[in-house]
Chain A
Amino acid sequence: MGGLVSKFLQRWTVFAGLVVVWQLLGWFADDPFFPPPSKILTAAYEWWVVEPSNFTEHIVPSVTRLLSGWAIACVIGVSLGLLLGRSERAMEYAGPLLVFLRSIPPPALVPVFLLLFKAGTSMQLATIVFGVVWPVLLNSVDGARSVDVTKVDTSAVFQIPRWQWVLGVVLPAASPKIFAGLRVSLSLSLVLMVISELVGTDNGIGSQLMQAQREFDYTRMWAGIVLLGVLGYGLNTALLAVERRALAWQPRSRDEQHA
């Protein structure tokens, strides 16, 4: 118990200290561009709690877009990645194309998607999916390739059905790398969600942020930024928890082996 408390303190002391310093500086400086945390929290409370419609009309759609875009990218990335990773020929053909597509900065495609899908959810989803699919895809390719020869041979000798080969051998063998890709792409999803909401839309956290900035409401702007930080932190923590459960089979330390 004492260990837990001290670990908690260790993790959060620097963070809390910075907030306190910011609070003090904010008070003394009294600069409209940099309001203290207390004011930001008050603004956030008034904005999203006192007026719940702001919450349901902006935050909920944003998070929904983020998660569905990420989920679509995960499904595409993992399935395509495992397929490409297990076929040497396919990767030879597709490799250069993938590297080329991955090199395009996704925000540069926002105008293209605007033309293709018009402003709105499909364009935002397209931006997120296109932007975040690459880490998942390339990590899945890498993971699928890492199935060692003995496991390939073992599977071949026992003549296991194809579904068991894919879901029972390749997927679990690739899963540590896949999760690394999922983490990167989840934080990228947040970035691309905001970017996709900056143009041609009037709902979502990104558009609210822009609006607050245009109206010189810097406290609200900061509230939006803090919200994005909290969101990113929360999502990452949730994914880490899932990862820990999914990869619980991995030998965690050398001492645990051959115990």
Chain B
Amino acid sequence: MSNMLEVADLGHTYGDHEAIGGLSFTVRAGELVCVVGPSGCGKSTLLRTISGLVAPSRGDVSLHGSHLAVVFQDYSRSLFPWLTVQGNVEFPLRSLPRAERRKRAAEALEWVGLAGAARKRPWQLSGGMQQRVAIARALAYRPALLLMDEPFASVDAQTRFELEDLLLRVRREHDTTVLVVTHDIDESVYLGDRILVLSGSPARLVADLEVPLPAERNQVTTRTDEVFVELRSKVARLLNVGKPAAMDVEKWAAAERESLSETVSS
């Protein structure tokens, strides 16, 4: 299988705070990789450097494709309230002819089961539905890589399960390459073909684990599967190793927040 994303010795430093310390990994085409790490370990920075929102201090990110899409955690801010659901999905497609744009948007909304909501405003939908709109928008863009930043962290548990299964279905049906950044160990095992475990700040790769679960997953049976339980405890143990002192976590979280508030002009 060919590589879709290659990250080589990626490092990023804000002032004298090192957020990422030399990360190297690859994502193969059609693969779903989860990046899991403790809160404030530089996951967001990793995502921002891969997506090109921040230029890394050192190292290389190479994407084998023309463009990527991002699904952000905060769907209510990521969607545009002045556009309809359909308008939001068409948002990245303005360079295409109108008919093509329409077709792709309708298609993507169909995939996430929102064909009936095309004319609504995003804020008229529930949180889970809004995140589905964001996923549809990303899929309509036909990205080489779909990046997801804690995509299901802002919805309730029930909806979260639904969205996880939706993601698995959609990426299987459309052969999408996905990189999910999460702090949720269970989610990373449930979703991933592979898990990249990061250490605390500066983020370093602790383990690159294959998930030996069948492609078909089920919220009830998979989560009680022995392989799942074992892998989950393994990841948990890995994350606890070298757990940073509470004070440092505060400091890193503050540094990361600061970096996020730096506006990026488009």
Contacts and interface: CB of A to CB of B under 8 A. Distances in A.
Contact of B264 (A153, A172, A251, A259): A153
A13 interface: no
Contacts of A250: 81
Given A150-B74, A150-B78, A258-B124, A160 B263 contact: no
B77 A150 contact: yes
A243 to B, nearest CB: 14
A158 B138 CA distance: 9
Contacts of A173: 82
A160 B91 contact: yes
B69 A158 contact: yes
Contacts of B124: 256-259
Contact of B81 (A154, A158, A249): A249
B158 interface: no
B77 A152 contact: no
A157 B263 contact: no
A160 B80 contact: no
B51 A249 contact: no
Interface residues of A, number: 32
Interface string B30-68: 000000000000000000100111000000000000011
A173 B78 CA distance: 12
B266 interface: yes
Interface string B93-107: 011000000000000
A86 interface: yes
Interface stretch (A72-80, A129-137, A161-169, A194-202): A161-169
A153 B124 CA distance: 23
A155 B48 CA distance: 13
Given A160-B91, A172-B80, A251-B123, A152 B70 contact: no
Nearest to B72: A150
B264 A160 contact: no
Given A148-B77, A172-B80, A153 B53 contact: yes
A151 interface: yes
B67 A159 contact: yes
Interface string B190-208: 0000000000000000000
A248 to B, nearest CB: 9
Given A149-B263, A152-B263, A256-B124, A158 B72 contact: no
Interface residues of B, number: 33
A156 interface: yes
Contacts of B121: 249, 251
Given A257-B124, A259-B124, A158 B80 contact: no
A197 B52 CA distance: 56
B2 interface: no
Contacts of B72: 150, 153-154
Contacts of B241: none
A149 B125 contact: no
B221 interface: no
Given A151-B80, A251-B81, A156 B126 contact: no
Interface in B217-266: 260-261, 263-266
Contacts of B127: 258
Contact of A161 (B53, B95, B141, B261): B95
A257 B123 CA distance: 5
Contacts of B95: 161
B264 A156 contact: yes
Nearest 4 interchain pairs by C-beta: A158-B92, A150-B77, A249-B82, A172-B82
9 contacts: A87-B265, A150-B78, A152-B266, A154-B78, A157-B53, A160-B91, A169-B80, A257-B123, A257-B124
Interface of B: 48, 51-53, 67-70, 72, 74, 77-78, 80-83, 91-92, 94-95, 121, 123-127, 141, 260-261, 263-266
Given A152-B265, A158-B141, A160-B92, 13 more contacts: A149-B260, A149-B261, A153-B78, A157-B68, A157-B69, A158-B69, A162-B266, A164-B94, A165-B266, A175-B82, A249-B121, A250-B81, A258-B127
Interface of A: 86-88, 148-162, 164-165, 168-169, 172-173, 175, 249-251, 256-259
